[in-house]
Amino acid sequence: MKQYKIRRAAKFLGYGLLFVGLATLVGFIVMTLWNNLLPDILGVKSITFWQALGLLVLTRILFGGHGGPGGGSRKQRWKQRMAERWQHLTPEQREQMKAKWKERCGNQ
């Protein structure tokens, strides 16, 4: 059980570091493109790294933060697909699935 928690924490930390790294990289890319293109083309001011990250967040909120086409989030669609699959399982298959998940996730 202790190893499971350690692995889970390491995985969480790894994903966190990956997210921060990708956000930093994309922020610098946006800042560099903005500062090298737009001042000459449109006559706007250069921006800082933090302003570039703010632009990314703003565009995500305005254009991409609503789960994509078809409505609903990925998590909701995943839950719906899993519920449909669960309904088509026989009682024996359901018990096998429960046993697999119990083995995989441990007793919580």
- The structural domains of the chain, with segments of one domain joined by +, span 1-65, 69-103
Q: How far apart are CA 32 and CA 47, in angstroms?
A: 9
- Residue 43, pLDDT score: 92
pTM for the structure as a whole: 0.55
Q: Which residues of 10-20 are buried (b: 16+ CB within 10 A; e: fewer)?
A: eeeeeeeeeee
- Residue 44, pLDDT score: 93
Per-residue pLDDT of the chain (108 residues; tens, 9 = 90+): 678 788 888 888 999 999 999 999 999 999 999 999 999 999 999 999 999 999 999 998 888 755 555 556 777 888 888 888 888 889 898 898 888 888 888 765
Segments in the chain forming alpha helices (H) = 2-42, 49-59, 74-87, 91-105
- Residue 48, pLDDT score: 96
